[in-house]
Amino acid sequence: MTIETMVREFRYDEIRLPDPNPRLSVDEVRTAFSATYPEIATAALTGPEAVGNKLVYHFAKAIGTKDDQEEGPRRASASD
């Protein structure tokens, strides 16, 4: 039996991002990548998913805007 260490890989918008430092937590990796890809700061994170000898995490862009969530549904008015 062979024990193999799995490496982490992060993916964002079809881009494969290598693990900047295996000692960092996933949240610390998010912070590190946010300097280059600001959208990662608010992206949803899924994973890890075992793919071969890698643990793959996916950052997915947040959908909508903060204003959309705060306003709620738009009500029809007499002028519509």
The radius of gyration computed from the CA coordinates of the chain, to the nearest angstrom, equals 18
Spacing of C-alpha 61 from chain mean position:
7
Distance between CA atoms of 79 and 12, rounded to whole angstroms? 43
Per-residue pLDDT tens listing for the chain (80 residues): 888 889 999 999 999 999 999 999 999 999 999 999 999 999 999 999 999 999 999 999 877 655 544 555 555 555 55
